Structure 1
Amino acid sequence: MPEKKKIKIGLLLQIVFAIALGIGCGYIFPEWLGRIFMTFNGLFSQFLGFLVPLIIVGFVTPAIADIGRKAGKVLVVTAAIAYGATIFAGFLSYFTSATTFPHLINPRPIDSGLKNAADLLPYFTVEIPPLMGVMTGLVISFMLGVGIAYLEGNTLRKCANEFRDIVAKVIKSIIIPLLPLYIFGIFLNMTVSGQVGDILATFFMVILVIFAMHIFILVLQYCVAALVVRRNPFKLLVTMLPAYFTALGTQSSAATIPVTLRQAIKMGVSEDIAGFVIPICATIHMSGSTLKIVSCAVALMIMNGLPYDFPMFVGFICMLGVTIIAAPGIPGGSIMASLGLLASMLGFTEKDQALMIALYIAMDSFGTACNVTGDGFIALIVDKLFGKRNRHEASDDAAILGK
């Protein structure tokens, strides 16, 4: 008999189902059952907090080492444009969110309803302190990454790559499968405390604003590219639409590389430039992810009545553009890598972080689509800057990348 195909439910649908189930069960669960889920949430959040610095070290170290080893003119320009586009998206998101959200979101501290949920306490807690702080992890990542880049040996490089694979495996095999259950517990507790209505209303408005912003930034990116290459920006953008829709389905920049590469070549980018720029940008260009994280952070801070200002977000955005590079090719990788910054720089609590995860994953495919579609605009500019007489350098860099 032929084997039955297993039906796989995407993470987004799992999160949506967990939210709906958490809200429904919040009205009917007895106290003792609710406390069981709160016990799980306490253990899960402790483990997640322990893992955050390891995520930073595991992802950032090999990414910096890899970029440093392949330093060349084409790579430096590509990285500069990608990072600049990522930071610009963050600032655009901040100013748009700070301008619009105060008119759409009513400030209400999340803890204001906890009196009603005082009985939903875990049966026990286990402290799992992280090995280091977030900033310590970033400093170590830079130190190791730069050091590995300039060492001739491969021992530390191999260790860094294997450690990255271990952390990615933990996220993919433990964190992601248990994430819906964690979100279920969060919304179960919020339903009992009477906060879920405000949260869902906020989610809906934030998603609409972010979707409009990510369309705007794609049009803006291709208008900039069109000025450089003297082409019609909308024809260029239409050419990249297959990559956009592929990313909506895969939710992974890495998995979309073949389609992104093909469409970039169709736009007129030379094969050697496209073959180098597109894979690199799949790792370091995070405009869509940064836009979402910053906007969601502003929304939650307004909802919680927390103070925020531009200087606070300048540092956060600049660090975010580095922290989320080389996030694993799995749904939600960027938000997992940014949890440490949200806690250390913006003061997010465990509950805030859980809401960030739910809100981010609800739009994860759109952020990935924005990232990969924007890779085409970078390829166009790099191709224009490095004409035929300089393209052999990109070929050399691409050859190194493949080793």
Structure 2
Amino acid sequence: MKKWGLLPRVIIAIIFGIFIGSISPQVVIQVLATYSSLFGNFLGFAIPLIIIGFIAPGIGELGKGAGKLLGLTTAVAYGSTIVAGTLAYLVSAGLFPKLLVVGAMNNSFANPEEALVAPLFSVDMPPIMGVMTALLLAFTLGLGASVVKGDSLQRVMVDLRSIVEKLISAVIIPLLPYHILSVFANLTYGGQVKMILSVFAKVFVIIIAMHLAYLVIQYVIAGQLGRKNPFVLLKNMMPAYFTAIGTQSSAATIPVTLKQTKENKVTDKIADFVIPLCATIHLSGSTITLVACSMAVMMLNGMSTSFITMFPFILMLGITMVAAPGVPGGAVMAALGLLESMLGFSTTLTSLMIALYIAQDSFGTACNVTGDGAIAVITDRLSKPETA
């Protein structure tokens, strides 16, 4: 299977996962869930190392231009997230009133995670630090190495990057398809996605269509700025898209996103810096999902969904979810405070939001990471005067 490339392996893993989940007894699903748990815990351990290993030396190698590149990337990513949320509001406000019946919400939804089969055992693999701590440490070390005299620290960070790259190529990438297979088998066996989609199918179709439409918009802009064919760029990012569907984590998909971004001829130094950074700060797909799902829930409960109500919520989402990509479903967990404080969601409504979001979390994550490739192309083009 190694000769087939990553994309065919991921697609095959998804198909086999659904098939196995449909016909297998619980003990088989438990074995797969155990593998998925172990691999997922290892990914959680590796994520801070990936962030530091790529971002810190990337900043150091960029030298005095690093500060400008950091500001540029952050501005482009945050702007993309806000535009995505605003477009999601406009589309939802126009279509949902025609598709949803006000007050028709079913309050009987339980947390969908309860439907998943538990692993036979679990081995705790705590990361050495949290995602946000790793991000801040990478900034500090990278910017520090770019301004201090001598290159001892920079050489250490470059060696760390080599270790992380070996970890990715020799361990994570080969085992990733089996993790994806296990996740889909468990979801299929539990009937989680099927149960929720049966009620909110129309909403999900619109959300996924918005994801795809926004990806096209991102890559058309990136193609124009980078003087490249936008659809070739988008096609090259498909392995990252399908991998994210399985992992449900922007950070866990970094190795694949980085590899495909470099295939789009983005400068290695820019890709090594932008992709891990955007996995943490660029959440356009998750924002589209959260805005659309929250509006659907609010409409079903007869609550106000005016632009004045929703736009401040959109602005805060881009900031609040920064630490969320390392955990599947983390975005909605990070947004619960905003849902309660800014939109007035009760405990029942937040439980429903969790159910809705987790059911399609993988598609929002796929939109996030695929869009990271467009951000990298845009940043590569805009930063060339500084990095030449």
TM-score category, normalised to shorter length: 0.5 to 0.7
Q: How does 1:253-264 map to 2 (within 5 A)?
A: 253-264=250-261
Structure 2: state its 5+ residue gaps. 1-27, 37-54, 60-65, 109-131, 144-185
Q: 1:317 aligns with which of 302, 305, 314?
A: 314
Alpha-carbon distance change, 235 to 317 in structure 1, aligned in 2, over 3 angstroms? same
Q: How does 1:2-401 map to 2 (within 5 A)?
A: 6-8=31-33, 72-108=67-103, 202-387=199-384, 390-391=386-387
Query: 2:39 — aligned with what?
Result: none
Alpha-carbon distance change, 290 to 239 in structure 1, aligned in 2, over 3 angstroms? same
Q: Distance in 2 between matches of 1:304 and 1:341?
A: 18
Q: How much has 1:291 moved relative to structure 2?
A: 0.4
Whether the aligned pair in 2 keeps the contact of 1:323 and 1:337 (CA below 8 Å) is yes
The letter of the residue matching 2:227 is R
The letter of the residue matching 2:70 is L
Q: How much has 1:376 moved relative to structure 2?
A: 0.5
Query: Does the residue aligned with 2:81 lie in a helix, a strand or coil?
Result: helix
Q: How much has 1:223 moved relative to structure 2?
A: 0.3
Query: Does the residue aligned with 2:305 lie in a helix, a strand or coil?
Result: coil
**How many residue pairs are counted as aligned between the two chains?**
260
Query: 1:28 — aligned with what?
Result: none
Identical amino acids, percent of aligned pairs? 52
Q: Distance in 2 between matches of 1:228 and 1:346?
A: 37
Q: How much has 1:280 moved relative to structure 2?
A: 0.3
Whether the aligned pair in 1 keeps the contact of 2:249 and 2:328 (CA below 8 Å) is yes
Q: Distance in 2 between matches of 1:316 and 1:376?
A: 26
Q: Distance in 2 between matches of 1:207 and 1:74?
A: 36
Deviations 1:126-182 (A, max 9, x none): xxxxxxxxxxxxxxx9xxx9xx98xx9xxxxxxxxxxxxxxxxxxxxxxxxxxx9xx
Q: How much has 1:250 moved relative to structure 2?
A: 1.1
The letter of the residue matching 2:250 is S
Alpha-carbon distance change, 77 to 335 in structure 1, aligned in 2, over 3 angstroms? same
Whether the aligned pair in 1 keeps the contact of 2:279 and 2:325 (CA below 8 Å) is no
Q: Distance in 2 between matches of 1:384 and 1:207?
A: 34
Whether the aligned pair in 2 keeps the contact of 1:105 and 1:202 (CA below 8 Å) is no
Whether the aligned pair in 1 keeps the contact of 2:250 and 2:325 (CA below 8 Å) is no
Whether the aligned pair in 1 keeps the contact of 2:86 and 2:314 (CA below 8 Å) is yes
Query: 1:164 — aligned with what?
Result: none
Q: Distance in 1 between matches of 2:380 and 2:263?
A: 13
Query: Does the residue aligned with 2:201 lie in a helix, a strand or coil?
Result: helix
Alpha-carbon distance change, 204 to 308 in structure 1, aligned in 2, over 3 angstroms? same
Q: How much has 1:390 moved relative to structure 2?
A: 2.9
Q: How much has 1:253 moved relative to structure 2?
A: 1.0
Deviations 1:181-240 (A, max 9, x none): xxx9xxxxxxxxxxxx9x866511111110110010001100000110121111110011
TM-score, normalised to structure 1's length? 0.59
Q: Distance in 2 between matches of 1:268 and 1:318?
A: 32
Q: Distance in 1 between matches of 2:351 and 2:208?
A: 21
Q: Distance in 2 between matches of 1:82 and 1:326?
A: 15
The letter of the residue matching 2:252 is A
Whether the aligned pair in 2 keeps the contact of 1:272 and 1:391 (CA below 8 Å) is no
Whether the aligned pair in 2 keeps the contact of 1:78 and 1:277 (CA below 8 Å) is yes
Query: Does the residue aligned with 1:226 lie in a helix, a strand or coil?
Result: helix
Alpha-carbon distance change, 9 to 91 in structure 1, aligned in 2, over 3 angstroms? farther
The letter of the residue matching 1:390 is E
Q: Distance in 1 between matches of 2:325 and 2:239?
A: 22
TM-score, normalised to structure 2's length? 0.61
Whether the aligned pair in 1 keeps the contact of 2:74 and 2:281 (CA below 8 Å) is yes
Whether the aligned pair in 2 keeps the contact of 1:248 and 1:369 (CA below 8 Å) is yes
Q: How much has 1:391 moved relative to structure 2?
A: 2.6
Q: How much has 1:385 moved relative to structure 2?
A: 1.4
Q: Distance in 1 between matches of 2:299 and 2:361?
A: 22
Alpha-carbon distance change, 9 to 203 in structure 1, aligned in 2, over 3 angstroms? farther
Q: How much has 1:330 moved relative to structure 2?
A: 1.7
Whether the aligned pair in 1 keeps the contact of 2:270 and 2:380 (CA below 8 Å) is yes
Q: Distance in 1 between matches of 2:270 and 2:199?
A: 43
Alpha-carbon distance change, 211 to 10 in structure 1, aligned in 2, over 3 angstroms? farther
The letter of the residue matching 2:308 is P
